[in-house]
Amino acid sequence: MDRPIGVTILTFVAVLLAFINAIAMLRFLGFLPSLGVLDIRIFSIWYALLYGLLAYIWAWVAYMLWQVDREAWIFLAIITIFNLCLSFVVLVTGGSWYDVNFTVIVNTLILIYIMLPGVRGAFRTET
In a domain? residue 25:
yes
State residue 55's pLDDT score. Answer: 93
C-beta of residue 23 within 8 angstroms of C-beta of residue 32: yes
In a domain? residue 36:
yes
In a domain? residue 127:
no
In a domain? residue 45:
yes
pTM value is 0.69
- Whole-angstrom Cα Rg for the chain: 16
State residue 27's pLDDT score. Answer: 84
Domains contained in the chain, number: 1
Range of the domain at 13: 5-122
C-beta of residue 66 within 8 angstroms of C-beta of residue 3: yes
Residue with more model confidence, 123 or 111: 111
Instruction: Using pLDDT thresholds of 50, 70 and 90, give the confidence band for residue 76.
Output: confident
State residue 58's pLDDT score. Answer: 87
Q: Mean of the per-residue pLDDT values for the chain?
A: 83
Render pLDDT for 17-71 as a digit per residue (tens, 0 to 9): 899 889 888 888 877 766 555 455 667 788 899 999 989 988 998 999 888 888 8
Instruction: Using pLDDT thresholds of 50, 70 and 90, give the confidence band for residue 1.
Output: low
In a domain? residue 24:
yes
